[in-house]
Structure 1
Amino acid sequence: MLSIGEFSNICKVSTKTLRYYAEIGLLLPDEIIPENGYRYYSIEQLETMLFINRLKSYNFSLEEIKNILEAEELQDEKLYLELTRKKKEIEKQVQEFEKTLDQLNTDLTNLKQGKSIMSYMESIDTQLVEVPMMYLLSIRKMVHEHEVAEEYGNCFRKLFRKTQVDKLTVLAPPMVLFHSEEFSPFGLDIEFAIPVKEYVTGTRDFYPGLCLKTVLNGSYSNLSSVYTKQREWAEKEGYESSNALYEVYVTDPSGVSQESDLITEIYYPVKKKSTNI
């Protein structure tokens, strides 16, 4: 048997942490002396502690680790599935870090050349276009930011299914309209829509009219830069918002292997600001 101090020293885990693990039921002492409250751990528990530390190094939460430890039957199968899931999460994080590193290197290069790290904004092209009226088959709902990707898939599956059932003619790629005037942690007022030829029950008119249009090639993380450039252009030229901003997904995000293949059109409906003389 090992005292809590000895166990702590061998595993390089503080006694405070060990007491907390016991409190949440993650790792209980093998024995507690009632008279003085001294805690003792068995030799076998050393490997359990090493196992916990290994999973923590993979960014498993304590609750996730506890669930794995409690799965006495089929523990290896559960562990394999959980490690596979975590591997995918870490791979995604690595990709994000690599993308951030590439961006950082570009910024360093620009600074060495005497350029601003915001100089990339100059390459964002904005055009003033007239967009004709269209019929939209759509689903409008409040969506939390972290649910947008899931709702995108769910809503467009329903919409495309309806176009097939009702034999509707799809005229353009799917689009999303943002009706919220401001970002809200309680959800965004979003409309998932497909332009169709026929005007039937469930469709509505949408007339964007005059719009600022920008084509984005690449990651959706650059959308905020496009929004900024469009607002700057509108302010400089004396325009203001006239309708919901919308995005057209020329390429299906689920059908590309890398973000650089994404093509998105961003439309910002505008009108000339009224001037009071």
Structure 2
Amino acid sequence: MISIGKFSRTCQVSVKTLRLYDRLGLLKPAYIDETTSYRYYETDQLDTMIVIQRYKRFGFSLDEIKTMLDDLPADNTQKLILKLADLLRQKQELENTISDLQILIGHTERNSNMDKTVFENYMIDVIEHEPMPIYGLRREMGVGDYGIAFSELFEQLGEKGVQNIQLTGARYFDPDFDANASDIQIFAQVGKADANDTIEGGCVVHTVHKGAYSGLNEAYAAVVKWMETHDYEQTGAPYELYTKCGINQYPIRQWETDIYFPAKKK
């Protein structure tokens, strides 16, 4: 038997935490001395404690861990896979944030007015855009659903034998944007024969966003601000083209997204 003090030192966890685990039914002592109330643990409980610490490190709650300890290890595989996917998403978001910060530092070193710099990062122009044949999927979705949606899109293109695939993009139809549920069309540029939709040509206000997608809102704000100050009004759903992205093996700092607002002079 192992005393609670030795168990604490061995697993590098406080006695207070071990008592909490006892109250929660997460890890109960194998034996409690009735005279001294000292707690003792079996050697095999070291394995259980290591598993608890490991699951805590992965980000599982104590309630989740208690359920997982009651299940067979094989039954926890799906939970571990989902946790891995969540951690990878968090890692990507952190890398995107770091990239945005590095870019912003570079801009602010050249311009001390940070608020003004946000909009000066973007060159705005007005161009005539040719009609664009696309193959798209339009549905209510959140930004977090893009991965699944694009996988479905490319699966359909593969089934149809479409090979002339150019840039991919997204178009936003809702007047109010909701990151979790908006009317969005993700698409790929294709030849006319393979298209199921067309983005109409005409006058568009255009800019290019460089870097992670988490900063796209700044580019959209820059375009809207420019349109307001130059007497342009929006005439259609804005859309974006991923001209340089992870699919093309570009690092995040080199990603480029072209943004288009169908518009006309007021």
The normalised TM-score by structure 2 is 0.73
In 1, Cα distance between equivalents of 2:255 and 2:135: 24
Deviation at 1:151, TM superposition (A): 1.3
CA 1:39–1:235 in structure 2 vs 1: closer, same or farther (change >3 Å)? farther
Deviation at 1:240, TM superposition (A): 1.5
Letter in 2 for 1:17: L
CA 1:53–1:246 in structure 2 vs 1: closer, same or farther (change >3 Å)? same
- Corresponding residue of 2:41: 42
Q: Note if contact 1:242-1:271 (Cα within 8 Å) is conserved in structure 2.
A: yes
1:49-128 equivalent positions in 2, closer than 5 A: 49-62=49-62, 63=64, 67=68, 70-72=71-73, 92=92, 95-96=95-96, 98-99=98-99, 102=102, 105-106=105-106, 109=109, 114-116=112-114, 118-128=116-126
In 2, Cα distance between equivalents of 1:161 and 1:92: 30
Q: What stretches of structure 2 of length at least 5 have no aligned partner?
A: none
Deviation at 1:255, TM superposition (A): 3.1
Letter in 2 for 1:191: Q
Query: Are positions 1:156 and 2:154 aligned together?
Result: yes
SS in 2 for 1:243: coil
- Corresponding residue of 2:181: 187
SS in 1 for 2:114: coil
Q: 1:144 aligns with which of 138, 142, 145?
A: 142
Write the deviation string for residues 13-66 of structure 1: whole angstroms up to 9, x where unpaired.
4367325641xxx43443689x9xx89552433553344234423434442685
SS in 2 for 1:140: strand
Q: 1:217 aligns with which of 194, 210, 214?
A: 210
CA 1:225–1:14 in structure 2 vs 1: closer, same or farther (change >3 Å)? same
Deviation at 1:226, TM superposition (A): 0.7
The normalised TM-score by structure 1 is 0.71
Letter in 2 for 1:99: S
CA 1:132–1:39 in structure 2 vs 1: closer, same or farther (change >3 Å)? farther
Write the deviation string for residues 196-222 of structure 1: whole angstroms up to 9, x where unpaired.
44357x723431421111122322122
- Across the aligned residues of Structure 1 and Structure 2, the Cα RMSD in angstroms comes to 4.3
Deviation at 1:242, TM superposition (A): 0.7
Q: Identity, % of aligned pairs?
A: 23
- Corresponding residue of 1:176: 170
Query: Are positions 1:260 and 2:253 aligned together?
Result: yes
In 1, Cα distance between equivalents of 2:98 and 2:208: 24
Q: 1:244 aligns with which of 237, 248, 263?
A: 237
In 1, Cα distance between equivalents of 2:179 and 2:89: 24
Q: Which segment drifts farther, 190-199 or 121-130? A: 190-199
Write the deviation string for residues 128-155 of structure 1: whole angstroms up to 9, x where unpaired.
0111333333221111232122212322
Write the deviation string for residues 234-253 of structure 1: whole angstroms up to 9, x where unpaired.
00011121111111122353
Question: RCO greater where, 1 or 2, for CA within 8 Å and sep 6 or more?
Answer: 2
CA 1:70–1:96 in structure 2 vs 1: closer, same or farther (change >3 Å)? farther
SS in 1 for 2:203: strand
- Corresponding residue of 1:135: 133
Q: 1:232 aligns with which of 184, 205, 225?
A: 225
Q: Note if contact 1:169-1:198 (Cα within 8 Å) is conserved in structure 2.
A: no
Q: Which segment drifts farther, 238-247 or 179-188? A: 179-188
Q: Note if contact 1:173-1:248 (Cα within 8 Å) is conserved in structure 2.
A: yes
Q: Note if contact 2:169-2:188 (Cα within 8 Å) is conserved in structure 1.
A: yes
In 2, Cα distance between equivalents of 1:154 and 1:98: 30
Q: Note if contact 1:58-1:86 (Cα within 8 Å) is conserved in structure 2.
A: no
Q: What stretches of structure 1 of length at least 5 have no aligned partner?
A: none
The alignment of Structure 1 onto Structure 2 pairs a total of residues equal to 259
In 2, Cα distance between equivalents of 1:133 and 1:100: 32
Q: Which segment drifts farther, 81-90 or 132-141? A: 81-90
SS in 2 for 1:181: coil
Deviation at 1:257, TM superposition (A): 4.8
CA 1:56–1:109 in structure 2 vs 1: closer, same or farther (change >3 Å)? farther
